[in-house]
Amino acid sequence: MNLQPLFEPKTMAVVGVSFSNDRHPANIIYNKAHLRYPLKVFPVNPRGGSLLGERVFTDISEIAEEVDLAVIAVRADAVPDVLEECIRNGVGGATIISGGFAEVDRKDLQDRLVAIAREANFPFIGPNCLGIYVPSVVDTFFLPGERMVHPDPGNVALVSQSGGVLVDQMVKFAEQGIGLSLAVSIGNKALIREQSLLDYLVADPRTNVIAFYVEGFDKNEGRDFVLGASQCPKPVIVLKAGKTDAGSRAVSSHTASLAGDHEVFSAVLAQYGVVEASNELELVSFCESLSCYQKAIGGSVGIVTGSGGHGALSVDVCSDHGLSVPSLSKTVQMKIKEQLSSSIQTIAALGNPIDLTGSAVDDDFVRAARELAHLPEIDAIIVLLLPYLPGITSDLGARLSQVSRRESKPLVAYVPHVEKYRMLIEGFELNRIPVSSSIEGAVLMVEAIRRCQPC
């Protein structure tokens, strides 16, 4: 099944536009596509006529051009006919926004859609979904453009069973400066499911990281998914909802009792190197980190900080997440000390965390990070930056990024995310170094790089 027309459409039909309701999903989708996307878009309603001065087509067959993508937003009962019309007219694929299928006990109607599409090898997303968002290419979300938050274009693909969770993640991506390659809400995932999207995204040159929000797999579907993901050279992240088993079933064996649904889910994902995020903070941190680093590392961390408290807190979080913060040898400590500004040489703590104190300047951070980067026993560096310290300038982000790049050692930073520190943050982010707005987030970023390998 060729999914390209779904994600790279040049022409799009929006079936089901309303003449009376400007906020009808089809109208919102049509308006956005018409006014803001480089697409040719055709509104369709059997009544014909015109909408906001543009011609409305009564039928897809009336559209003279080949249609890549049809967005279907008619009532559920009418969807099978529209789907057949799409197929008859050589449409490339569809996203079915309409609800009223398996989620309301109309599995029969949904199965009809699948049967029609399968026979014609016709791809569709949904039903009961928001559909597809590809920055600057296409947007089938029925959310007014001015209400949406648009992350920068980037290399992380998001696939979500829930439209709400997806849109919310996009807000978080924008807040944290994570770039998005595409976002898909798959709703009831009647035909196109996680596995087909994984296959598509493996080959998608814009995507380097693939993140899923999953509510559940079908029988044995999880097995195929992890086997597929383990062959995928790009990091795969999964956030799973429903971690507690519904009700306690009577189980007759210890194994059945110990191997609950979620225990199995977590264990198998880890076994095949799929990174499981246990909550939204993890999902966002993992996405940001893996969008910069895709090669797995060990779990030894070197920490550079401008505050002893931040250093101590970060060590605690590292230990909670199974990362080690090994002490540095006397030789290494001496070597670092020699390079520090004379004003901090006697007050800096050099054991790891390296606490450069509030009197440190940019050069001290750069030199300490460079020495850590040289050490083979250190797998990643966390820099805890407090931009209110007088000796730190907004150049430091870009300078530390160079250290990480030159030494090929992953570095992540913690910087409070407020507007006045933006230049410092961008100094990292524009150089593809992830920056977290919390200490925990920075630690999670390292954990993600460690976890994207089979355990």
For the chain, count helices (H), then strands (E): 17, 19
Residue entry with tokens 């099944």: 1
| Candidate list 220, 244, 331, 408; residue touching another protein; CB under 8 A | 220
241 interacts with another protein by CB under 8 A: no
253: left (phi over 0), alpha (psi -120 to 50) or beta: beta
Q: Is 164 helix (H, G, I), strand (E, B) or coil?
A: helix
242 interacts with another protein by CB under 8 A: no
Cis? peptide before 353, omega within 30° of 0: yes
218 interacts with another protein by CB under 8 A: yes
State the nearest-atom distance from the C-beta of 324 to another protein, in Å. 16
The pairs formed by 23-26 with CB atoms below 8 angstroms and a separation of 24 or more are 24/73, 25/73, 25/97, 25/142, 26/71, 26/73, 26/74, 26/97, 26/142
| Candidate list 62, 84, 199, 221; residue touching another protein; CB under 8 A | 221
Tell me the β-bridge partners of 96: 72
Handedness of CA 21, 23, 26, 31 (dihedral sign): positive
Binding pattern for the stretch 436-455 against another protein, x by CB under 8 A and - elsewhere: ------------------xx
Among the residue ranges 2-10, 257-265, 299-307, 333-341, the one whose residues contact another protein (CB under 8 A)? 257-265
| Candidate list 23, 147, 254, 419; residue touching another protein; CB under 8 A | 254
State the nearest-atom distance from the C-beta of 273 to another protein, in Å. 12
| Candidate list 48, 90, 216, 309; residue touching another protein; CB under 8 A | 216
Closest CA to 356 of 325, 390, 324, 329: 390
226 interacts with another protein by CB under 8 A: yes
252 interacts with another protein by CB under 8 A: yes
For another protein, the closer CB: 226 or 403: 226
251 interacts with another protein by CB under 8 A: yes
The count of other CB atoms within 10 Å of the CB of residue 55 is: 12
90 interacts with another protein by CB under 8 A: no
Binding pattern for the stretch 258-277 against another protein, x by CB under 8 A and - elsewhere: xx-x-xxx-xx--xx-----
State the nearest-atom distance from the C-beta of 271 to another protein, in Å. 5
Residue 93's H or E segment, with its range, is: strand 93-96
State the nearest-atom distance from the C-beta of 274 to another protein, in Å. 12
| Candidate list 244, 248, 255, 342; residue touching another protein; CB under 8 A | 255
State the nearest-atom distance from the C-beta of 453 to another protein, in Å. 11
Phi, psi dihedral angles at 380 (to 5 degrees): -155, 155
Q: Which residues contact 378 (CB under 8 A, 6 or more apart)?
A: 300, 301, 302, 326, 372, 409
Residues at the site binding another protein, with contacts judged by CB under 8 A? 216-223, 226, 251-259, 261, 263-265, 267-268, 271-272, 454-455
